Chains A and B, each alone.
Chain A
């Protein structure tokens, strides 16, 4: 069983299938990733460096925009990803 899986080769994140501790080394879709922060089971880990403003890609499609620079191995979730859809709070 893989500890994390990426769906599409375009994805810049993978989903952790178990809780990942910092320092653990993973081989995900041919990339060597050093876990940089605790990643709860079911949460996402960055496979590459993602710059603020860049699309976060899962299933081969954008799932939102990075709101901060994200280094490989870091936790990717609501603290550093913004949805681009249905955002009435942003004004028009």
Chain B
């Protein structure tokens, strides 16, 4: 087994697996301009989002922290912030987050530049220069211990809990054994399996935190006076054979490993700082969950799916694997690895984990994933409160 991959060593000591020019709109009003700039630049990536104004308290903080986390993320080489000029999110603070991580950063404002056309033109000029400077950066040999792996499942069916999630869990175990970290989100999909994760806690505190967060999410569902089965499991999950959220959760948490200790529980988009398994407080909605965990510092995502899903991320490669042989054929262009052999006896779980870890190493060294080839760059910041 190769213990290394080829990554980008950043000035702040973190390791990137991609080298994007990130174009960040501070507010929804700047999103189209930011996307046009990013699309015109090699390795350009935009973060189109719906927020940046009209938010108070926790939502305002989460929007700002998520955008700042992407500006400082090791998969990003340089940052162009596109402001409108009158919004709530402060463009300079985002640029500062990039500079603090040792990256070049620049701010332009649509009101300052004088409209869409002039801002787009100026932004492309700046971002192309950034991209040219990034071209001289070379990948170097990096240790697996520098990786934070986001583990995710979506479009789950009966194969997820039996094949793809346990195979991914074995990869999480191996990565953590090598000194790395894994992050698991989707609190609603831990409901019913929290006892298993809590029993693996490295200390009493993360176990207590986990139980508190799961109770809060359950109380929120109950406070609505609704049956969570309206969405958990989803109608597709139920057709696929999953009966209750408990069953879905028990299958889903396998992806967090079989023996990896639970070392921390963190808020949405907050930095993952501990080795072992961190649980992040994210919703189950796929794109919001992945957006938050990449914000926490995950450089690579492995996303298991039974029914098949296309979504990716603007800056982190998302590796899609399925344990469903039919999905492996019907959605082949969206998938990177088929581990359905686990269920029909063609492959062992450990054999599938070997192949998946090899794929993770190749992707972290530059191999494009299906999501990257297809241009799937979904991004959505979680919001909890009304917009004002």
Contacts and interface: CB of A to CB of B under 8 A. Distances in A.
Interface of A: 1, 5, 7, 15-17, 40-44, 56, 58-59, 61-64, 76-78, 81-90, 92
A15 B247 CA distance: 12
Contact of B246 (A17, A40, A84): A84
A60 B158 CA distance: 16
A85 B192 CA distance: 7
Given A42-B157, A59-B161, A63-B246, A86 B222 contact: yes
A58 to B, nearest CB: 6
A45 to B, nearest CB: 11
B196 A61 contact: yes
B221 A43 contact: no
Given A58-B250, A85-B191, A86-B222, A42 B227 contact: no
Nearest to A61: B250
B229 A83 contact: yes
B159 A42 contact: yes
Interface in B196-228: 196, 218, 221-228
A43 B239 CA distance: 9
A63 B192 contact: yes
A65 to B, nearest CB: 9
A64 B157 contact: no
A77 B250 contact: no
Contacts of B161: 59
Contacts of A44: 241, 243
Contacts of A77: 238, 241, 243
A56 B192 CA distance: 13
Interface string B139-169: 0000000000000000001110110000000
Contacts of A16: 241
Nearest to A91: B225
A22 to B, nearest CB: 18
Contacts of B238: 77-78
Given A44-B243, A63-B250, 20 more contacts: A1-B343, A1-B345, A7-B162, A15-B162, A16-B241, A42-B240, A43-B241, A59-B250, A61-B196, A64-B247, A78-B243, A81-B244, A83-B227, A83-B243, A83-B245, A85-B191, A86-B221, A89-B225, A89-B226, A89-B227
Nearest to A86: B228
Interface of B: 157-159, 161-162, 188, 191-193, 195-196, 218, 221-229, 232, 238, 240-241, 243-247, 250-251, 343-345
A77 B238 CA distance: 9
A85 B228 contact: yes
A50 to B, nearest CB: 13
A87 B228 contact: yes
A85 B245 CA distance: 7
15 contacts: A1-B343, A16-B241, A17-B343, A17-B344, A42-B159, A61-B192, A61-B246, A63-B244, A77-B241, A81-B243, A83-B245, A85-B245, A86-B221, A86-B245, A89-B226
Given A7-B162, A40-B241, A61-B246, A86 B157 contact: no
A15 B188 CA distance: 23
A44 B161 CA distance: 13
A87 B229 CA distance: 8
Contacts of A86: 188, 191, 218, 221-222, 227-229, 232, 245
Q: Among A15, A64, A81, A83, which residue has the most Cβ atoms of chain B within 10 A? A: A83
Contacts of B195: 61
Contacts of B222: 86-88, 92
